[in-house]
Structure 1
Amino acid sequence: MSCCHTDGTEGAFTVDASRITFGRGCLAELGDRASALGITRVALFSDPTIAGLEVFDTAARSLRDAGIDVVAYTDVRVEPTDESFKQAAAFASETAPDGYISVGGGSVIDTAKAANLYATHPADFLDYVNAPVGAGTPVPGPLRPHIACPTTSGTGSEVTGIAIFDLLSMAAKTGIASPALRPTEALVDPDCTDTLPPNVVACSGLDVLSHALESYTARPYLRRPPPPRPTQRPMSQGANPWSDLGCGEALRLLGRYLRRAVDDASDREAREQVMWAATLAGIAFGNAGVHLPHAMAYAVAGQVRDFRPASYPDAEPMVPHGMSVILNAPAAFRRTAHTDPGRHLFAAEQLGADVRGAGPDDAGVVLAEHLIAIMRRVGMPNGLEGVGYTGADSPALADGAWPQQRLLANAPIEIDREVLAGTFDESMRYW
């Protein structure tokens, strides 16, 4: 029986995290780390861009020097789809590795998670996908070892049990969430971010920022009903003392270093600190969960028409994940601030806002205005209009976000389609 209070609400929280090695040059440890896990034949996942960089060669060389057979899969799609997940899973099933390595951003890491899942425990694709889009079937057992090596300072996927993709038939993002998907280890090497273009650093860093903000302001874990069994406690537990620690420090670091990291690729201190913030926020949201801005972001990215961001692959229109999140964030936090003004003001202060004299009624405005200032400083579009939407799109965007019930239930306010549509309206233009 689960721990609960006399009123029937949750009484405990669970902390899970991957083993993490952090530091410049640690990618060279990959072969020894993989060998220690008993891996002899590895599927090395990456995307076409990363596969042409030194970081990929470093990873492959380290694995081969350790005597490990390497089979590379470098066709990962940036912003994966159900079709690209299926292709990766087919590769994994055919090559039958006994371990997985992902070298890349969140798209690469998530694709490796999915390939590992479907090759290890074959099922119809939608079986494991989050309800109500899929069946939400629990993963039946452990997966093969997976070492994640992030090359962007953003998604936190290296320490979470979540894999996100575009479901083409719905024109919306959804995902698979299970502790079994969490990578066995993460090698977080800030050297991998030294060559990232400014816009990529900005988008990934703003994803980190919203991970921390959403986890810190999520529905508290104590307001949840207890799970049927302790082992069924969800990863999105809501704000809890453990996640609060990571969120607060991540916000402080981003307030101090994000703009520097975007402005100057040679500022190695800033790039390193933003990557550490990404790791902290990843652990936090992997145990607390995100809410409204991320739920909205999946519709924004899924319904994109013609927008093509700078420094990203330009074959198809896309809204980068971090951009699609932050464009909703000011409007979303204006709506949630009344639930806990102190938390919203603390978050704003950690990010560098001047909160002197601000009272509870000011929390939403103070936080939203500071987020808008950060967006402008790092070159984000002016709200959803900046990526091609208008107010006439709000109902369709709300419909696209509505299936994200795992995230919406984690928000500190009750959300229906009307609230979603209104928040999309308020996200259209900020200045």
Structure 2
Amino acid sequence: MPTFGALRAPRNIVFGAGQRRATAGFARGLGHSALIVTDSRLADSPELAGLVDSLTAAGVRSAVFGGTVAELPLDCLDAGCEAGRRLGVDLVIGLGGGSCMDAAKIVALILAHGGRPRDYYGEFRVPGPVLPVIALPTTAGTGSEVTPVAVVADPEREVKVGIASPALIPHTAICDPELTYSCPSGLTAVSGADALTHAIEAFTTRRREATGGIVHEHVFLGKNAMSDHYALLAVRHLSGSLKRACEAPGDIAARESVMLGSLAAGLAFGTAGTAAAHAIQYPIGASTHTPHGLGVAVLMPYVMAFNRPACEAELAEIAVAMGVSPAGRDRAELAARAIEAVTALFSSIGIPSTIAGLGVSAAELPLITERAMGSTRLIKNNPRELTLPLMASIVEQSFHGHGAPASSNCEHQE
């Protein structure tokens, strides 16, 4: 198949300790009045106070909306939009975790085009450019600072729903590892596992025929040469540093490596897309109210085992990127080692081994299966074709603990 590559990304990406101080310089070139979208904890933080002061010094007025709530209920977004209208902003700055990044994107969308979030559910529903967004993540996991999607919780829907459009990609992403130093070990683990899942699914997602119109027909373009580069970069950094960052939160090098891995994973899946693990997590998250990153991490080894016949070569490359020596091993063995390595890493940072450990009951499995199959934009990306019975088999295996290797027999690196 001819080589095809594409990358959907912000205009500016800045990475490094202390680089949050570059924010005001970018803001000055984008507008005169900024809404800072964050949560209640960060609204009173020294980091936010420093951001406001730097904006003022640069001649940019600002207001703070600190009402972002996890999972993004619609009333939270309505309040953020109203705060932006009162100030008459022409720029939005997101500071915080994935929910704050997504909230900033949606506020920028509504302030530019009006309506409510549900008017834009699905792919390519955004009619044009939104207000420019500067994204400053304080966790290393979602990659939302570089992706074309935002996910909300709509009370009229049983599961979370996404708005996907290249117009949602932030103008500028500033990834400052210093903003993650206070992140507790549990959140570091869940966020990092989310990022590794993004990288694995992006690298193993289905490759589409590269027609001349593919970039206009799909928000997520499938596996390609450019997304592959960032996916493997993410795998190397996350597999090599995530456990250390959880065990020794003060290890600056590990923190930097995890955040760089999360950024690379966001670039990978923001272009290629994700697949079955994410499709199954959405109904599980709605049922159990457990973090998104925790759910996809539990599911990832089972999805890898299911998809192995369709992506053995890619799994073998993932194994090598995770530090498994290829010497004396054929592709099949390396693919098996990839699944073992992921299982072992997740176990070592406290990820449960089954969805039962997330609070899922046996009675819920048929409904989870049915709702997972409803995530069409994710199902179409899976490298192995999914039918309802096959989806049911993944869900049941992830509940009973069958189909993925036991972590006690796994080696992570060699």
Q: Does TM-score exceed 0.5, indicating one fold?
A: yes
Task: State the alpha-carbon separation in 1 of the partners of residues 83 and 124 from structure 2.
Answer: 23
One-letter amino acid of the counterpart of residue 220, structure 1: R
**Residue 74 of structure 2, aligned match among 82, 92, 95:** 82
TM superposition shift of 1:83? 3.5
Alignment of 1:44-59 (within 5 A): 44-59=36-51
CA contact (8 A) 1:85 1:115 kept: yes
How far is the alpha carbon of 1:357 from its aligned partner? 4.9
Aligned to 1:351: 322
The aligned residue for residue 191 of structure 1 is: 178
Compute the TM-score of the two structures, normalised by the length of structure 2. 0.91
- Correspondent of 1:180 among 155, 164, 167: 167
Select which of 112, 117, 121 maps to 2:113. Answer: 121
Supply the distance in 1 between the matched residues of 2:345 and 2:195 (Cα, whole angstroms). Answer: 13
**Runs of 5+ unmatched residues, structure 2:** 407-414
Instruction: Identify the range of structure 1 (150-159 vs 396-405) with the bigger mean alpha-carbon deviation.
Output: 396-405
**Structure 2: distance between partners of 1:98 and 1:370:** 46
Of 44, 57, 62, 2:54 maps to: 62
The residue that corresponds to 1:143 in the other structure is 130
| Deviation of the 1:324 alpha carbon | 1.2
Separation of aligned partners in 2, 1:204 and 1:290? 16
Distance 2:216 2:43 in 1: 38
> What residue is the counterpart of 2:412 in the other structure?
none
Q: CA deviation at 1:399?
A: 2.3
Give the SS at the match of 2:156: coil
Are 1:283 and 2:283 matched, yes or no? no
Matching of residue 207 in structure 1 with residue 194 in structure 2: yes
Distance apart, 1:394 and its partner CA? 1.3
Pair 1:330 & 2:301 matched: yes
**CA deviation after TM superposition for structure 1 residue 123, in Å:** 2.8
Query: Structure 1 residue 11: deviation in Å?
Result: 7.9
Q: Is the 8 A contact 2:6 2:226 kept in 1?
A: no
CA apart distance, 1:58: 2.2
Alignment pair present for 1:167 and 2:158: no
Alpha-carbon contact 1:335-1:364 (below 8 Å) kept = no
Contact 1:355 1:366 in 2 (8 A): no
Q: State the match for 1:29 in structure 2.
A: 22
Q: CA offset at residue 382 of structure 1?
A: 2.7
Whether contact under 8 Å (2:215, 2:221) holds in the other structure is: no
Q: Are residues 115 and 124 of structure 1, via their aligned partners in 2, closer, same or farther at CA, if it must alter by over 3 Å? A: closer
State how far apart, in whole Å, the 1-side matches of 2:338 and 2:376 are. 25
Name which of structure 1's ranges 385-394 and 67-76 shifts more when overlaid on structure 2: 385-394
1:311 aligns to what?
Answer: none
State the 1:428 CA deviation.
1.7
Aligned residues: 401
Partners of 1:196 and 1:221 in 2: CA distance = 38
Q: Deviations over 1:97-140 (max 9, x none)?
A: 1100011011001001111111211235322101xxxxx46211
Answering whether residue 33 of structure 2 is matched by residue 41 of structure 1, we say: yes
Deviation at residue 370 of structure 1 after TM alignment: 1.9
Query: Amino acid of the residue matched to residue 147 of structure 1?
Result: I
Does 2:209 align with 1:238? no
Q: Distance in 1 between matches of 2:336 and 2:72?
A: 35
TM-score (norm 1): 0.88
Aligned partner of 1:420 among 391, 395, 398:
391
Establish whether residue 405 from structure 1 lines up as the match of residue 376 from structure 2: yes
State the superposition RMSD in angstroms. 2.0
Q: CA deviation at 1:297?
A: 1.4
Distance in 2 (CA, whole Å) between partners of 1:217 and 1:137 is 24
Choose between structure 1 and 2: higher helix proportion: 2
Residue aligning to 1:302: 286
Q: Any idea what the Cα deviations from partners look like across 1:265-320, whole Å, max 9, x if unmatched? A: 1100000011011111111111111111111111111111xxxxxxxxxxxxx311
The 8 Å contact of residues 382 and 429 in structure 1, kept in 2 or not, is answered as no
Deviation at 1:367, TM superposition (A): 2.7
Larger mean Cα displacement after TM superposition, 52-61 or 337-346: 52-61
Contact 1:90 1:115 in 2 (8 A): no
**CA deviations over 1:157-199 (Å, ceiling 9, x no partner):** 1111110122333331221000000000011100001110001
What percentage of residue pairs aligned between the two structures are identical? 30
Give the Å deviation of 1:220: 1.1
Per-residue CA deviation, residues 341-375 of structure 1 (Å, 9 max, x unaligned), is 11112112322345655545446543332222111
Counterpart AA for 1:23: G
Query: Aligned to 1:428, what secondary structure does the other structure show?
Result: helix
- State which drifts further: 387-396 or 201-210: 387-396
State the match for 1:366 in structure 2.
337
Check conservation: 1:158, 1:183, Cα contact below 8 A. Answer: yes
AA paired with 2:84? Answer: A
